[in-house]
A and B are shown apart, each in its own frame.
Chain A
Amino acid sequence: MLLGYSWSDWGSILVMQGFAGLSLFSVLLLMALGLAIIFGQMGVINMAHGEFMTIGAYTIYVISKVTEQYFPAFMPYYFVVAIFAAFAIAFIVGYFVEFILIRHLYKRPLDTLLATWGLSLIMQQIFRSTFGGREVSPTLPDWLMGSWSPTPSIDIPINGLFVMAITILVTAAVIISLYKSRWGLKVRATTQNRMMAGAVGINTQKVDRMTFAVGCGVAGVAGAAFTTIASTGPTSGSLYIVDTFLVVVFGGAASLLGTVASAFSISQAQSILTFFMTNAMGKVVTLLTIIVILMLRPEGLFASKVRK
């Protein structure tokens, strides 16, 4: 394996493979962040999380088509605006879903599991009826599709850098709003002791609704970022939901730090293993490792210190 390639070959492969790992890391983290907020803070197992990503992806698709049709001059810039739209639409849908469905099911995690699973099926059918069964992908601005070559043998995909930047911004925003803002304080108070939080005057219902909606909005942003990498179909969400749950469970459900650490270790393990083994073997070994670690640490990498 080591023979036959020059050191500079190996150097550039190391850089690019490292980047592939980082890029997978940001994808996983972006997917898991919204789920971690909802599950960690509210104890709701949201099986429809993938469909909220799909909402974000379709938002980008629709905006790209409209821009192409009516404002072609705006093409290079629409993507940035569209990401905010993806957040907003997923947020609004999440807000209503919480109002109609979720709020009746708090403290019943298995029921939320079933209800949100049903919800995901309904949403998939709505996507199919609206956009058809064919997979679609938006027309991306040219600057997003190229690669950056610091040396002739290294190509760093710009869409990877872009997803990474979004991930950093979203993670920072989530951490700041959870730990440095008044809203975050209310969320944490509600999570730790709902009765007491209500007693000191926090409107816990409102906090729940906002938390759920923010989690969905973050999923929308993840979906938007996805359109730079893959296509969108009615069932795209279910493709990612397993990986997403894997990250959240491995990280320790209620801990954001755990989610970050878990996404990082899973992506690096997968990236390194799939390079030296076949794709399938790499995945299997990663999964087995996770299972073993979870047997030793059932609470995940970083167990949260919530009073129960």
Chain B
Amino acid sequence: MIKKNQSGIWRSVRVAAYGLTLSSVLLVSSVYAGPPTAEVNTTGMAVTDDTVTVGILHSLTGTMAISETGAQQAEKLAIEQINAQGGVLGRKIKIIQEDGASDWPTFAEKAKKLLEDNHVAAIFGCWTSASRKAVLPVLERDNGLLYYPTFYEGLEQSKNVIYTGQEATQQVFAGLDWVAKNKHAKTFYLIGSDYIWPRTVMKLARKYIETVLHGKIVGEEYAALGSTQFGSTINKIRLKKPDVIYAAVVGGSNVAWFKQLKAAGITGKKQTLLTLSVTEDEAQGIGGENLLGFYSAMKYFQSLDTPENKTFVADFKKMWGANAPIGDVTQAAYEGPWLWKKAVEMAGSFDTDKVVKAEESGKITFDAPEGMVYLEPNHHLKTRLRIGEWRADGQADIVYTSPYIMPNPFPKGY
């Protein structure tokens, strides 16, 4: 009320103050600007004296948009935070966002556009293995750099890709160890959706269960993508009475799978179930009441109780809304821009070869929401695996955290 009366004089004072602040910021930033562009960019990338351009390449439309929304939100949050801290080598990050449209050839085409027309210094993106495999030849030919956030099947390592999600051995072995030890599991029933990731994961799991845990696999089954009929599978499970159901069912099928399990009387109270493919994103669709008491093996859960994570969750919700779920891949996507910034600064250059050399130095670490992560010379992160027990509200209680696991994308004997 008083402010209204004083508005005339105060407004001019405030304007003057803003003006002063702005000009001093400009002055300071011009004084502390990074090294000259010719030094940090010898390969013709989109780097000017005060900006550097990167690409974000996820599906904004089509069937994968559901999943990839969180990842691109997290990447934008990280970039905004880096800019607020002054950017990379004194340069603010500019984003060019492209839509992969859930279509693998489109992903390749857009990656080519980002690298050849926009000359971006790095790309953050892709989700499915199919989209990554489509982008890979483009990256290698144009010597681009991709930060890939999804947990995936492994068996790959490219000079031009940094994998911030877990590869299969990191997700599988520690989780199986945990059920074997804590649930005294001897018999396992494997079920997954019918495509490359679940099949590769189950291949690893089978060998590990049979040779290391000396357990027994009593059934292995794959349902078509999008399938909603699990009646026969569930009856087979009842007949075999496995100690553990080990699941990698993906996407919308998950909802049918968990609803039908519950309706058939197979609940967390009676049956141990460990899944590799349910994050907070999926939990929202499945409904916490259908997941209650089942377990997920992930490197990150939103409920993780550390100061770093609490800050991250608060920042994320502030930017994208209180109802935006944060799953494992969303957090891994958040790590991408930060790891890139560290490598660029260590290399003192935006040039891909120098940045990759810094990434491979074994000295890049990041205090991520999930805890400290270490970028290993094989382009994957050394991280921990966590087991989360689902609550009725769609969040998970973390019941186990593994020691650090070295990434091993090419396991011997598998």
Given known contacts A147-B263, A230-B228, A280-B222, is B255 in contact with A137 (CB within 8 Å)? yes
Contacts of B69 in A (CB 8 A): 133
**Complex contact A9–B63 (CB within 8 A):** no
Tell me which residues across on chain B come within 8 A of A16, comparing CB atoms. 235, 238, 264
Q: Which chain A residues (33-55) contact chain B, with CB distance < 8 Å?
A: none
Closest residue of A by beta carbon distance from B261: A157
Question: Size range of the interface on A?
Answer: 35 or more
Q: Is the CB of B231 within 8 A of A134?
A: no
- Please state if A20 and B232 are interface contacts (CB–CB under 8 Å): yes
**A136 within 8 Å of B (CB atoms):** yes
Judge if B213 is at the interface, Cβ distance under 8 Å. Answer: no
* Contact between A275 and B232, CB atoms less than 8 A apart: yes
B289: interface (CB < 8 Å):
yes
Residue picked from A157, A159, A228, most chain B C-beta under 10 Å: A157
Determine whether B239 belongs to the interface, using a CB cutoff of 8 Å to chain A: yes
- Is A279 a contact of B222 with CB atoms below 8 Å? yes
A231 and B285 in contact (CB under 8 A), knowing A13-B235, A20-B235, A275-B235? yes
Closest to B289 in A: A145
In the assembly, what is the distance between CA of A295 and CA of B38, in Å? 73
Among A153, A155, A279, which residue has the most Cβ atoms of chain B within 10 A?
A279
Contact (A135, B255) CB under 8 Å given A158-B263, A160-B263 = yes
Indicate if the CB atoms of B194 and A135 lie closer than 8 Å: no
Q: Does B221 reach chain A (CB closer than 8 Å)?
A: yes
Known A-B contacts A157-B260, A279-B222; A235 and B63 likewise in contact (beta carbons under 8 Å): yes
> Do B255 and A279 touch across chains, with their CB atoms under 8 A apart?
no
* CB 8 Å contact bits of B30-71 with A (1 = contact, 0 = none): 000000000000000000000000000000000101100100
Which residues from A are CB-within-8-Å of B234? Answer: 20
| Contact of A23 with B259 at beta-carbon distance under 8 Å, contacts A13-B238, A155-B265 already known | no
Q: CA separation between A139 and B284, bound complex, in Å? A: 11
Interface footprint category on B: 35 or more
Given contacts A147-B264, A231-B252, contact A280 B228 (CB under 8 A): no
Q: Specify the chain A residue showing the minimal Cβ separation from B285.
A: A135
CA distance A229 to B257 in the complex (A): 9
Contact pattern, A 134-154, Cβ under 8 Å of B = 1, otherwise 0: 111101000001110100010
Q: How far is the CB of A58 from chain B (nearest CB, A)?
A: 14
Given the known interface contacts A134-B284, A271-B232, A282-B232, the answer about A5 and B239 at a Cβ–Cβ threshold of 8 Å is yes
In the assembled complex, how far is the CB of residue A233 from the closest CB belonging to chain B, in whole angstroms? 6
* B227 interfacial contact with A, CB 8 Å: yes
B402 at the interface (CB under 8 A from A): no
- Give min CB distance, A209 to chain B, whole Å: 32
Q: Which of B222-264 contact A (CB under 8 A)?
A: 222-224, 226-229, 231-236, 238-239, 252, 255-256, 259-260, 262-264
Asked if B287 CB lies within 8 Å of chain A CBs, one says yes
Produce 1/0 per residue, A106-147, CB < 8 A to B: 000000000000000000000000000111110100000111
Task: Answer whether residue A265 sits at the interface, using C-beta atoms and an 8 A cutoff.
Answer: no
8 Å CB interface, A218-255 against B = 228-231, 233, 235-236, 239
Q: How far is the CB of B248 from chain A (nearest CB, A)?
A: 15
Alpha-carbon distance between A282 and B236 when the two chains are bound, in angstroms: 14
Cross-chain contact A134 with B285 (CB below 8 angstroms): yes
The 9 closest A-B pairs by CB, nearest first: A20-B231, A157-B263, A231-B255, A155-B265, A230-B256, A274-B232, A230-B228, A147-B265, A133-B65
16 sampled A-B residue pairs with Cβ under 8 A: A13-B239, A16-B238, A20-B231, A24-B231, A133-B65, A137-B259, A145-B290, A146-B263, A147-B264, A155-B238, A157-B260, A157-B263, A239-B226, A271-B232, A274-B229, A280-B222
Which residues of A pack against B, CB within 8 Å? 5, 9, 12-13, 16-17, 20-21, 23-24, 133-137, 139, 145-147, 149, 153, 155, 157-160, 228-231, 233, 235-236, 239, 270-271, 274-275, 278-280, 282-283
